[in-house]
Structure 1
Amino acid sequence: MTRFRFSAGLAALVTVAGLAVGLAGAAPAVAEEAAPVSWSVTPADASGPDGRVAVEHEIDPAASADDRFAVRNLGSEEITFRLAAADGFTNDNGRFDMLPSDQESVDSGTWITLPESVTVAPGGTAVVPFTIAVPEDAQPGDHAAGITASILSVKEGEGTGVGVESRVGFRVMTRVAGELAPAYSVQHLEADYRTSWNPLRPGSIDVVFDVVNEGNARLAVAGLLSIAGRTVAFPAEGESPQEILPGESRSVALTVSRVWPLFAFPGEVALSPTVISASGEPTDEVAVEVASSSTDVLLWAVPWPQLLVLVGLALIILALLWRRGRSKRNLEALLTEAREEGRRSMAGVGQG
């Protein structure tokens, strides 16, 4: 089993061939051994952790950059940690992750050179240098990787032992210098009206779509959904824009509540992505400007509960009118019969 944790507050859980691997956030990781071990891994300078949560570099092809990270042993015993680098990606939860140890990296995870291991005294911190060397033929744009420090422990269970590799790490983003070509598309857009079957209550509108990063730069995605006379911003107030790595996509789900069904709602999804700079922040530089876009959406919202109520009322009114008409016809028939009976009686008296 593999337990995997990342230092930027990003976590994932991956299970591979009986080996559990984990990457954790800024909190230390704990290995489930006889003597628990906890440790942290963060970017650093020569003196120790420097406050960064990730490493960001812009490097020319065929050039390199040197950096450091710190491994801190929070346990009570000396530990030798295995060090490794691998390609990074965004998992289904929208969190940064990196390839498990049994998968081979093919991109920037292979550009990182670092020691195979480091031994850290109890309560101590080791500063480890590493180098990012960009190949001459590397494509311009953003490339994601991660660096981890791990230990392997064994959990006993019913006569068998399960190897558990626990990894703690941080993100390494490399922007290869060259022309940035940001591009994106909106795909799989779906809109649905959720009917409230209580005719006195409005329903809601759900809109789901994928934003696909088709360029070579990281994008921070934000925008607006306009429908049914309402506007919903994404991300919501107080949230950070969604970050999408090149070649990846992110699903966006939006809800507009308290909407009365009015048969049809035309709407629009407007996106305003921003390129994230090599320092990890959105940038408004003209050289990397990304054009906004809009995608039309048409939603059908048939007011079935209200129509059923109207049909019911119409049936009740028709029934009342039919009954009233029938009663009137019955009364007229009785009156006619009474008149006929009166005439017959008068005729009999005359003949007598």
Structure 2
Amino acid sequence: MMASPTTPIRRALPRVSALALALLLALGASAPALAEAQDDGTVTWSVRPADASGEDGRAWVEQELDPGASATEHLAIRNFSEQEVTFRITTADAYFQENGRFSMLPSTEGSVDAGTWIDVVDEVVVGPGEVEIVPFTTTVPENATPGDHAAGIAASILSHQVGEDGSSVGVESRVGFRVMTRVAGELTPSASVEAVSSEYDVSWNPLAPGDAVVRFEVVNSGNTRLMVTGTAAAGGRESAFPGPDEIDQELLPGDRRTFTVPVDDVWPLFSVPVELEVVPTVVGEGEGTPVDAVRVEAGMWAIPWSQLAVLAGIALIVGSGVWGRRRSRRRIERLLAQAREEGRREAAAPTGD
């Protein structure tokens, strides 16, 4: 897994999993020797972009090359440990996870794109407290398609743990950074929105509005990286995405990302209009270049159950009162009619001499 650019130092993994066991088996005897973490897990290291003299302050490498062209960059491996460590250097195709974090394919999965374009030594020995500068060369194939291609480069070690059954299992831990290569040619940034849906969560307080949730997928249908922002609105209320506590949402060409946007305080009006605006912008060379925004209009059912329940209660009370008054009036009328009838009978009765 790629380390975040802001936290490049990572301690060797202390736990064992079935995935780790599969990784160890996949490495096999033909893999270069990896450094072994000590039992107390004290092997720590960082990997940063560099020039020939040392770290240069970049978080990752971005380069633009013509098909068939090559470029040489460097990585700086800093060993914070008190022992000499042999690091395995690996490259792989890279991708953005569903949460927007950057990662590279595991060692057990083969690369087919930019991860295969990088040439670097298999392993590097770094002394305790020392930094080793390692060159690597990216060569773009002649038939590479124009646009952005993502790869990662990492330095890894293998730590051993004892499983519950007493067997020794290894976990590969790696730290690295992204290598973004833009192949020169016609750039066609584009995005589309699919699978729009929404739902309403009614508030059982009749004096309070409910909440809506809008879900949709954004597809990077062009050949450049895109940063995606936008707004989702329902019933006149609006929410921006990504939210203030979420990381930037960057999509590589061909990426498909699912977004879930909450829209709070929406009054239920039976049918509520939903409006979605997705605003993609180009990342990298030409950063900030706007791409055609995508706007989608939809709707959702928002039945005001709590308000209807209150109205039903009021109607029941009013109806009961009306029915009671009518019943009381009929009873009074019946008593009056009975009294009049008795009066007539008494008036018609013969009187004695």
Preserved contact between residue 19 and residue 162 of structure 1 (Cα < 8 Å): no
Moved more, 305-314 or 165-174: 305-314
Secondary structure, in 3 states, of the residue corresponding to 1:324?
Answer: helix
1:296–1:330: structure 2 CA closer, same or farther, 3 Å change rule?
same
| Aligned AA (2:268) | P
> Tell me, which stretches of 5 or more residues in structure 1 are unaligned?
22-29
| Cα distance in 1, alignment partners of residues 302 and 38 from structure 2 | 54
In the other structure, the counterpart of 1:170 is 177
Once the two structures are TM-superposed, the CA of residue 320 in structure 1 deviates from its matched residue by 1.1
Preserved contact between residue 79 and residue 119 of structure 1 (Cα < 8 Å): yes
| Cα distance in 1, alignment partners of residues 345 and 254 from structure 2 | 100
Of 169, 172, 189, the residue aligned with 1:182 is 189
1:103 aligns with 2:109: yes
In the other structure, the counterpart of 2:31 is none
Of 48, 55, 64, the residue aligned with 1:49 is 55
Once the two structures are TM-superposed, the CA of residue 64 in structure 1 deviates from its matched residue by 0.6
In the other structure, the counterpart of 2:118 is 112
1:204-215 matches, cutoff 5 A? 204-215=211-222
Q: Alpha-carbon deviations, 1:132-178, whole Å to 9, x = none?
A: 01000111110111011111111013311111111111111111111
Secondary structure, in 3 states, of the residue corresponding to 1:252?
Answer: strand
| Aligned AA (1:258) | D
Moved more, 170-179 or 229-238: 229-238
| Cα distance in 1, alignment partners of residues 182 and 211 from structure 2 | 42
Secondary structure, in 3 states, of the residue corresponding to 1:62?
Answer: coil
1:264-343 matches, cutoff 5 A? 264-278=271-285, 282-284=287-289, 290-343=291-344
| Cα distance in 2, alignment partners of residues 87 and 142 from structure 1 | 12
Preserved contact between residue 218 and residue 257 of structure 2 (Cα < 8 Å): yes
1:6 aligns with 2:3: yes
In the other structure, the counterpart of 1:139 is 145
Once the two structures are TM-superposed, the CA of residue 10 in structure 1 deviates from its matched residue by 8.3
| Cα distance in 1, alignment partners of residues 141 and 220 from structure 2 | 23
Secondary structure, in 3 states, of the residue corresponding to 2:351?
Answer: helix
| Aligned AA (1:16) | L
Q: Alpha-carbon deviations, 1:243-295, whole Å to 9, x = none?
A: 111111222222222222122222321222111124xx7233xxxx5222211
Once the two structures are TM-superposed, the CA of residue 188 in structure 1 deviates from its matched residue by 1.0
Moved more, 235-244 or 58-67: 235-244
In the other structure, the counterpart of 1:153 is 159
| Aligned AA (2:100) | G
Once the two structures are TM-superposed, the CA of residue 190 in structure 1 deviates from its matched residue by 1.0
| Cα distance in 2, alignment partners of residues 148 and 309 from structure 1 | 63
Secondary structure, in 3 states, of the residue corresponding to 1:18?
Answer: helix
Q: State the percentage of identical aligned residues.
A: 51
Secondary structure, in 3 states, of the residue corresponding to 1:137?
Answer: coil
| TM-score, with structure 2 as normaliser | 0.87
Of Structure 1 and Structure 2, which has the larger fraction of its residues in strand?
1
Preserved contact between residue 118 and residue 138 of structure 2 (Cα < 8 Å): yes
| Aligned AA (2:139) | A
Q: Considering only aligned residues, what root-mean-square deviation do their CA atoms show, in Å?
A: 2.4
> Tell me, which stretches of 5 or more residues in structure 2 are unaligned?
25-35
Q: Alpha-carbon deviations, 1:67-102, whole Å to 9, x = none?
A: 000111101110000110000011122111111011
Preserved contact between residue 20 and residue 172 of structure 2 (Cα < 8 Å): no
| Cα distance in 2, alignment partners of residues 152 and 9 from structure 1 | 23
| TM-score, with structure 1 as normaliser | 0.88
In the other structure, the counterpart of 2:27 is none
Moved more, 332-341 or 320-329: 332-341
Secondary structure, in 3 states, of the residue corresponding to 1:336?
Answer: helix
1:97–1:269: structure 2 CA closer, same or farther, 3 Å change rule?
same
| Aligned AA (2:343) | G
1:38 aligns with 2:41: no
Once the two structures are TM-superposed, the CA of residue 35 in structure 1 deviates from its matched residue by 5.3
Once the two structures are TM-superposed, the CA of residue 228 in structure 1 deviates from its matched residue by 2.2
Preserved contact between residue 54 and residue 76 of structure 2 (Cα < 8 Å): yes
Q: Alpha-carbon deviations, 1:324-343, whole Å to 9, x = none?
A: 11111111112222232333
1:245 aligns with 2:245: no
| Cα distance in 2, alignment partners of residues 254 and 324 from structure 1 | 52
Moved more, 255-264 or 100-109: 255-264
